Copies of this chain bind each other. A is one copy, B any other.
Amino acid sequence: MFVVGSGARHLEDEIKALGGRILDAEIKRFPDGEKYVRVLGSSEEVTLVQSTFKPQDEHLVEMILLADALREGGVQKLRAVVPYLAYSRQDRVTKEGEPVSVRAVMRTLAVYYDELYVFDLHNPETLKFFPGKAVNLSPARAVAEYFGEKLGEGVVLAPDKGALGRAKAVAEKLGLEYSHFHKVRVSPTEVRMEPVDVDVKGKNVLIVDDIISTGGTMIRAANLLREMGAEKVFVAATHGVFAEGAIERVSKAVDELAVTNTIPTPVSKISVVPEILKL
């Protein structure tokens, strides 16, 4: 059985449509600002689906309250599916005195949850902070299906070498070429991006990344690909953590921008729900 938190309400209809059975949850706010939750019904095993985009902290605390209610109701096995995990980019100490915030989040979830499933975690190594079973799901199949026909015999590119695995996963599902951008210092003050070992001339190109926030990198990459003679330029990302105006800026620079629905945005056209139903 599924329970859907307020950060995954946008996935609820599709979960039902694909045959997922849902225990209804009442989630409201008291006048003093505290959340009130209540789960109607119970089951031996429950999968809570909750995405933890903004307001992140409310979505996280709600997960703890819902889990307490579920355990109180007799749930034996409790899984958390967190399509977008808040604090996942705060994955290391860069200045003395900082926390590893994603560790704090995972340890907190582990108080109640036996298993944790996330999508395309910014740093998959941080899964080790969750003491139970922790799985990083890939949206590659969903991204490949969405862009496959539009891409044709195109190329899949990662914005940097670290993201190459993501481009590879999508490309292999479509039987296409893949590569990544690297940075070339063209003068003491100027660095330019360049795709490595691939000819984009006359080809459609899909750039894939995990998160788009300002979209600056994507826009620079898209402009460069056009200069190099690319045909259509598409941009896909798993998590649309868009800064103010970013959707419009990226959309203007490319032929199509699409992200998954781990976070609901106007361009969340790729659904991860089928992957959740497979668990």
Query: How many residues on the A side are at the interface (Cβ–Cβ under 8 A)?
Result: 52
CB pair B97 A34 closer than 8 Å: no
Residue of B nearest to A26 (CB): B97
Check: A31 CB closer than 8 A to any chain B CB.
yes
A residues 51-75 near B (Cβ < 8 Å) are 54-58, 60-62, 64-69, 72-73
A residues 29-84 near B (Cβ < 8 Å) are 31-42, 54-58, 60-62, 64-69, 72-73
Query: In the assembly, what is the distance between CA of A99 and CA of B100, in Å?
Result: 29
**With A57-B60, A61-B60, A99-B69 in contact, is A34–B107 under 8 Å at CB?**
no
Check: A98 CB closer than 8 A to any chain B CB.
yes
Check: A180 CB closer than 8 A to any chain B CB.
no
Contact of A40 among B57, B69, B97 (CB under 8 A): B97
**A26 partner residues in chain B, CB cutoff 8 A:** 97
CB pair B241 A65 closer than 8 Å: no
Check: A95 CB closer than 8 A to any chain B CB.
yes
A residues 67-118 near B (Cβ < 8 Å) are 67-69, 72-73, 86-87, 89-90, 93, 95-101, 103-105, 107-108, 110-112
**With A41-B97, A86-B34 in contact, is A67–B243 under 8 Å at CB?**
no
CB distance from A89 to the nearest CB of B (A): 8
**With A72-B93, A107-B111 in contact, is A65–B99 under 8 Å at CB?**
yes
CB distance from A259 to the nearest CB of B (A): 14
CB pair B32 A241 closer than 8 Å: yes
CB pair A56 B33 closer than 8 Å: yes
Check: A271 CB closer than 8 A to any chain B CB.
no
**A213 partner residues in chain B, CB cutoff 8 A:** 31-32
Query: In the assembly, what is the distance between CA of A64 and CA of B39, in Å?
Result: 26
**With A34-B86, A73-B96, A97-B39 in contact, is A57–B68 under 8 Å at CB?**
no
**A56 partner residues in chain B, CB cutoff 8 A:** 33-34, 61
Query: In the assembly, what is the distance between CA of A272 and CA of B87, in Å?
Result: 33
Query: In the assembly, what is the distance between CA of A39 and CA of B108, in Å?
Result: 20
Query: What are 25 inter-chain pairs, A to B, with CB distance below 8 A?
Result: A32-B213, A33-B54, A34-B86, A34-B101, A35-B57, A35-B101, A36-B98, A37-B99, A38-B95, A39-B97, A40-B97, A56-B61, A61-B61, A64-B105, A64-B108, A65-B99, A67-B99, A68-B103, A69-B99, A72-B99, A72-B100, A104-B112, A107-B112, A110-B111, A111-B111
